[in-house]
Amino acid sequence: MDFAFMKETFLSLLSGVPLTLNLAFTSVAFGTVFAMILALMRLSGVSVLAAVAQAYVFVFRGTPLLVQIFLIYYGLGQFRPALQEWGLWIFFREPYWCAVLALTLNTAAYASEIIRGGLQSVPHQQVEAARACGMSGFLLFRRIVFPIAVRQALPAYGSEIILMVKATSLASIITMMEVTGIAAKLISQTFRAVEIFVVAGLIYLIINFIITRIVMAIEWWLSPHLRRPPAVEPRLEAAHV
C-alpha cells in the first residue's frame, strides 16, 4: 500500500463528493414527497388508488436499479422525436436528470413501504384519545398520527438514505462523474485498482457515518418520552448533615 498515492487519490475523489451528495439528496427529497403520496394512496381505502400504488411498488422494488437507469437513459433515448414533441427532451437529454429520476422513482417505492409501516403502527388508542379530545381530519394527522409514524419509521428510513448514497455509484454508467466514476477513470490512468477502490469505499463510509449520526440525533430529539427524566436531586436537610 502506497499511502502517499492513496492521499493523492483521496483528494481527487473528493471532487466527486458534491455530485454524489447532490444526486443522493435531490432524489431522497423528491422521493420522500412521492413516497408520502404513495403511502397515503395505499391507505386511502379507495381500491383503485391502493391498487395503483401497490403495482408501482411491485414494479420498482422488484426490478434492479441498474436496469431502471438503463431503461430511462438509453431506452427513452430511442423515443426522442416523441419526447421532443411533448417538450420533455430538454429533461431527458441530460444524464443528471435521468439519474435523479431513476433514483427518485426507486427510493419512492421503498420509502412508501417504510412510511406505510410507520403509519399503520400508530396505536389505535392514541387515535381514539385524540378523537375524544375533539381532533379529526388533518389536525389529527398533523398532531398525532404523523409524529408517531415518523418516530417509528425513522430507523428504517435512515437505512434507505444510506442505500441511496451508495446507489448513486450506478450513475457513473450514464457518464456522471461522481466518486465511483472518477475512481474508474483514475484506475484507467494508473491501473491501481486496489488502492483506488479502498479509498473510494472509505469516502462512502465517511459520508454514511455522518448520515447515521444525523439520523440518530433526530431520533433522540424525537423521542424524549423514551429517555430517563432528569434525576431530581433529593434536597439535603440541615438536620441530616
Sites of contact with other proteins (CB under 8 A): 74, 77-78, 80, 93, 95, 173, 175, 177, 181, 184-185, 187-189, 191-193
Contacts of residue 26, Cβ cutoff 8 Å, sequence gap at least 6 = 100, 104
Nearer to other proteins, 34 or 92 (CB): 92
Contacts of residue 179, Cβ cutoff 8 Å, sequence gap at least 6 = 13, 16, 17, 19, 20, 169, 200, 203, 204
Shortest Å, Cβ 74 to other proteins: 5
Q: Which three cell numbers stand for residue 189?
A: 490512468
Nearer to other proteins, 194 or 238 (CB): 194
Nearer to other proteins, 25 or 197 (CB): 197
Shortest Å, Cβ 84 to other proteins: 9
Q: Which three cell numbers stand for residue 216?
A: 440518530
CA angle 196, 198, 201 (to 5 degrees): 110
Nearer to other proteins, 166 or 192 (CB): 192
Shortest Å, Cβ 155 to other proteins: 36
Shortest Å, Cβ 16 to other proteins: 13
Nearer to other proteins, 136 or 175 (CB): 175
Shortest Å, Cβ 173 to other proteins: 6
